[in-house]
Amino acid sequence: VVGLLIELILIIELMFTTKQKKKFILINGGVCMNEDLKKEIQREILRQINLPNFHQNELKDIMIDFDEVLEVVMNKILANAEHPDKIVFMPFNEPDHANWYGYGNNTGAKNYAQFLKDWNEAYGVIQKVWNQYKNGEKTNANGVKPTADHALIAGPGDSSWRPNTTKKLLETGKANNTLPDVVVWHELGSGSIGSYPGHYKQYRSFEKELGISPRAINISEFGQMRDMSVPGQIIQWLSL
């Protein structure tokens, strides 16, 4: 684990993607974040889209640009963070699923090219806001400025190991200077304990093939209910 992983998309859950706009609803999400800050972020999003009286469940039919909302969330986090350099920002969670882009492991899927475009744009928004606090253009409530060269970003966050699309993201990220600092996917299948080592080796082979320095890996969701309740199962995960 590198720093404090914040899944930004748990604040704003994307329902589907079009070429220019993304549809979302607000949910009670976000990890490693103060409850008051979560509520403040949600109120700020409502205020900026001029819908202060809408209940969050009524937002399902509102079309808002995801990057605009992402910028609101980033500002709220960095304006209140005590240790910004320790935060790893994760803009997407399970983008391979149908409620996002639904590309699975297919780089030729209809929405995969859009995901790559959205990844690059989200990366740029995060770095833009980061630099605004780093250079003093915007201020932090604790008088703290980021000092790292850039904001740490994690992804893609797929629901399972997706070798084809993961490799393509690395290729695109290298070409556009938008590589994730922490590579994230989930291992939730019944055979994941046995298959993860092979997935790990395959991922590392992609880095070597593409000339990319080793990234940190974070399996942010793993195991099944049976694993979480049985010491003999969970210890296998902890040993990996």
Q: Which residues are catalytic?
A: 94, 221
Extended strands (E) in the chain: 4-7, 12-17, 22-26, 63-64, 87-90, 152-158, 182-187, 216-222
Report yes or no: 183 and 217 within 8 Å, Cβ to Cβ: yes
Specify the 3-state DSSP secondary structure of 149. coil
Three-state DSSP state, 187: strand
Q: Which residues contact 22 (CB under 8 A, 6 or more apart)?
A: 14, 16, 63, 64, 65, 66, 118
- What the block records as the tokens of 111 is 């929405």
- b/e map of 144-183 (b: 16 or more CB within 10 Å)? bebeeeebbbbbbbbbbbbeebbbbbbbbbeeeebbbbbb
| Tokens coding 73 | 């969330």
Tokens of 74: 């980033």
